[in-house]
Amino acid sequence: MTNVVIGAASGMGAATARKIAHRGRLIVADYNLEGAEKIAAEIGGDVKAMACDISNQTQIDALMAEVGDNLEALIVTAGVSGSQAPGRRILEVNLMGVERVVRAAEPKVRPGTVAVLVASQSGYMVPNVPELFEVIDNPLAPDFMDRLSQILDVDVSSPCYQLSKRGVHRMVRRHAKSWGLKGGRILSLSPGISDTPMGNEEIDNNPIMLKMVEACPMGRPGTPEDIANVMEFLTSPAAAYMTGSDVLVDGGMSNVLPMNAWEGKIRLPMKAGLAPRF
Ligand SMILES: NC(=O)c1ccc[n+]([C@@H]2O[C@H](COP(=O)([O-])OP(=O)(O)OC[C@H]3O[C@@H](n4cnc5c(N)ncnc54)[C@H](O)[C@@H]3O)[C@@H](O)[C@H]2O)c1
């Protein structure tokens, strides 16, 4: 049995790797190899660190070759935020990269295999625009970026981040049937604003996020451990009937706060005047 965490060098990925290490063979992968090696050394035992940039197909293939035929849990926390990269790069990593990983893992799915892809509560802020969904539902299409740029400005980071995460919510729905036919499960997990290097950088750059944290029912940011605890459950047999859906771990932010309070502040800059449909 091999468990894999991609994005394991920091934040939620590192916490999840520590949490599930007792299960047996573990691969901790990250774009930041040095960071992954540090986590592997800290955990010790049957843990291998690997370099993997999820926007690079060759590196994903090398990772999957190392996994072998006994894939148990595949956890993808790797991602970049609006403060860390331009819009196109965010889409290449958070949406196209995650789809590449899912497709590369698909031949390895067997009874009991489970994937959990980290999305975000911000994915729920994307309006329901069917034309947009049609494009993000096929992120590896050769004309993906061209088609998307006809609908919204792909150079603006924050909406691309939200969109990439909404795309992940939809991705697990799309793949659930083929994974289920082989006895596997696939889910997404949407954290709220969390106390990690990425989350803290976002709060520093967007003071409204601090207000959202204060106003949410739990009144505090999430911790990497909050996420790792749910990851442990979702990847365990106790969650055997869960697949194809998103699991919100956001301190109540998305469903309890009146999200229209943030309207006008967080909005996709639609180019063609496309209206949300409900
Ligand atoms: N922190 C938050 O507030 C928050 C909220 C919602 C969702 N998320 C999502 O949670 C996930 C984990 O974030 P975190 O808060 O632990 O951040 P983090 O910055 O601590 O960790 C992210 C990790 O992803 C790795 N990474 C970045 N690009 C990569 C690539 N192309 N290939 C492989 N690895 C790559 C980084 O090296 C880093 O180790 C991300 O997908 C993020 O979008 C975070």
Average pLDDT, 10 consecutive residues per value, the chain (278 residues): 97 98 98 98 97 98 96 98 94 98 98 98 88 95 95 89 96 98 98 94 88 90 98 98 98 76 48 53
Residues 6+ apart with CB under 8 A from 24: 1, 2, 3, 46, 72
What confidence score (pLDDT) does residue 278 get?
39
- With residue 198 as reference, give the H or E element that holds it: helix 197-205
Q: Which residue lies with its CA nearest to atom 28 of ligand 1?
A: 79
Closest residue by CA, ligand 1 atom 32: 53
For ligand 1, atom 6, which residue shows the shortest CA distance?
120
What pLDDT is recorded for position 153? 87
Query: Does 2 contact ligand 1 (Cβ within 6 A)?
Result: no
Dist. CA 103 → ligand 1 center (Å):
20
Q: What is the pLDDT of residue 261?
A: 46
> What sign for the dihedral angle of Cα 84, 77, 255, 223?
negative
Q: Is 62:83 a contact under the CB 8 Å cutoff? A: no
Domains in the chain: ranges and CATH = 2-262 (3.40.50.720)
Q: Confirm or reject: Cβ of 50 under 6 Å from ligand 1.
A: no
Phi and psi dihedrals of 186, rounded to 5?
Answer: -145, 130
DSSP of 144-189: HHHHHHHHB-TT-HHHHHHHHHHHHHHHHHHHHHHHHHTT-EEEEE
Across-strand partners of 125? none
| pLDDT of res. 275 | 54
Long-range contacts formed by 131-137: CB under 8 A, 24+ apart: 131/272, 131/274, 132/163, 132/268, 132/274, 133/170, 136/95, 136/163, 136/166, 136/167, 136/170, 137/167, 137/170, 137/174
pTM: 0.95
